[in-house]
Amino acid sequence: MTTIHTTIHRRTCHICEANCGVLVELDGRRVVSIRGNPDHVLSRGHICPKATAIADLQDDPDRLRRPVKRVGDAWQEIDWATAYSEIAARVVALQNDGARAAFYRGNPGAHDYALSTQSGYLQRAVGARGTFSASTLDQIPHHYVQYRMYGHVSLAAVPDIDRSQLIVIVGGNPMASNGSLWTVPDFRNRVKEMQARGGRLVVVDPRRTETAKVADQWVPVRPATDTALLLGILQCVLAEGDTLRPGLAELVDASWARVKPLVDGFDLDRLSAHCGVPVDTIRALAAELSGEKTAIYGRMGVSVCEFGALNQWLIQLINLATGNLDREGGTMFPEPLLDLVGQVGRGGVKTVETARGTLPSVMGEIPTIAFADELTREDDQRIRTLFVIAGNPVLSAPHGKRTDAALAGLDLMVAMDMHVTETSRHA
């Protein structure tokens, strides 16, 4: 009988921002099993099927194990030292030629501390003029409002689910995402625990999502009319008084006094008719949110729309008005092990000139909607050197076909990826 000696390695799954703790059992370099780590403080043993599939990635014959360099139509494996020196030489030559360099950063970069903290050095060394990422496609309203209200693009207040008695999720589906931006692995069991202590989950969404199916109440809202619903809720909350609880009152400036007159200018019946949510439901949500240990939270559904920033602002105001901002059981500002908020600057909100005209720029990024335009513009600002870090914009960004065609014309493209993808095939 053969005895197998395996070792257990405690790791973090970086496939999404839930960052679940995993126990990887290895026999040499062969993955025997991947399980959730029950001692992980955040994920508590939870993993989703993607984590168990990491073993397939590990053994995937198509996974790149060494750098590859394009030679004609073929890929040639090269060693790391050669890769570094050849890339550096070509970057410098293009810098000397005045070529514009840019970066495209894919989602995985945000799930990995090493990449998110170190890649900025590379960008500066390369002299990149322009960063594009998925952030500008789905979450910039969060960052914009956080910057305006809390003074830092990354100061995100998220529901304190383990102590909350009511969470209203607007346009979010954490059953599928495990709380993108919120970072709430094991969401299903956390909801069950909240329900077991008498709490309620309410989901506002035009679609009966996976999260709506486990909620205590589903509020179908007409698509892209969340602003009307949020205005109605805020109006009803403030109707009971706009005096902020101690601790919050000292933190707001004189502009708070302008909020109630502003929202009172809207007719509740018309707001209700616009969003398709009955007045009684709006009033009931407002009354329930006005209790203690409640939170309202909005994600992509209320960000990726015409009034995304307004929606995020209204959500913060509701939590502020109910007294549940920065309060246990309400929405709170997480204190992560590695405090990126404290380590990086506040970020900024500016405008940037692009081939599509003047666009807003948050966190120094150029909106990815302009990526294909910046690759194909015909002046000396055309991107000629491109680093793509764990991203596949040909598939996931707007104007994929134009991007696909434009990437073939770059002077230099360097892709950091485990596979040759629709995008990295142009490297």
**Contact (CB, 8 A) for 371 and 104:** yes
Query: Taking the complex as a whole, how short is the minimal distance between the CB of residue 8 and ligand SF4, in angstroms?
Result: 17
Q: How far is CA 319 from CA 153, 187, 195, 284, 326, in A?
A: 18, 21, 21, 16, 9
First to last CA, the chain: 49
CB of 183: closest distance to ligand SF4 in angstroms?
9
- Residues 178-196: b if buried by 16+ CB within 10 A, e if exposed: bbbbbbbbbbeebbeebee
Measure the CA–CA gap between 162 and 158, rounded to whole angstroms: 12
Strands 349-354, 331-332: pairing is unpaired
Confirm if 138 and 301 have CB atoms less than 8 A apart: no
Site pattern 138..177 for ligand SF4 (x: CB under 6 A): ----------------------------------------
Nearest approach, Cβ of residue 343 and ligand SF4 (Å): 23
Segment lying near ligand SF4 (by CB under 6 A), choices 48-56, 96-104, 215-223, 273-281: 48-56
Quote the least distance from Cβ 45 to ligand SF4, whole Å. 11
Cβ atoms of 147 and 349 within 8 Å: the answer is: yes
Q: For residue 354, list its beta bridge partners.
A: 357
CA 126 distance to own-chain centroid:
26
- Contact flag: residue 107 with ligand SF4 (CB under 6 A): no
Chain position carrying tokens 């205590």: 216
Per CB under 6 A, contacts with ligand SF4 among 253-272 are none
Residue 367 touches ligand SF4, criterion: CB under 6 A? no
Nearer to ligand SF4, 13 or 228 (CB): 13
Size, binding site for ligand SF4 by CB under 6 A: 12
Binding-site member from 23, 31, 51, 102 for ligand SF4 (CB under 6 A): 51
- Identify which range of 13-21, 192-200, 224-232, 374-382 contacts ligand SF4 by CB under 6 A: 13-21
Alpha helices in 41-79 (DSSP H): 49-52, 54-59
Q: x/- site string to ligand SF4, residues 305 to 334, per CB under 6 A?
A: ------------------------------
Tokens 């589903």 correspond to 218
- Which residue number, 36 or 159, has a Cβ lying nearer to ligand SF4? 36
Which of 11, 44, 50, 260 is the binder for ligand SF4 (CB under 6 A)?
A: 50
Report whether 171 contacts 202 (CB < 8 A): no
Q: What are phi and psi of 61, to 5 degrees?
A: -65, -20
Segment lying near ligand SF4 (by CB under 6 A), choices 11-19, 225-233, 245-253, 344-352: 11-19
Residue 48 sits in the site that holds ligand SF4 (CB under 6 A): yes
Min CB(21)–ligand SF4 separation in Å: 9
- Cβ of residue 55: shortest distance to ligand SF4, in angstroms? 13
Q: Which stretch binds ligand SF4 (CB under 6 A): 17-25, 239-247, 262-270, 417-425?
A: 17-25
Binding mask 177-216 for ligand SF4 (x = CB under 6 A): -x------x-------------------------------
Q: How far is CA 183 from CA 43, 164, 188, in A?
A: 10, 16, 13
From residue 76 to residue 105, the character string flagging contacts with ligand SF4 as x (rule: CB under 6 A) and all else as - is ------------------------------
Tell me the closest approach of the beta carbon of residue 224 to ligand SF4, in angstroms: 28
Q: Phi first, then psi: what are they for 359, rounded to 5°?
A: -125, 155
Q: Which is nearer to ligand SF4, 19 or 354 (CB)?
A: 19
Helices (H), 215-349: 226-239, 259-264, 268-275, 279-289, 300-303, 308-321, 340-343
Residues in touch with ligand SF4 (CB under 6 A) = 13, 15-16, 18-20, 47-48, 50-51, 178, 185
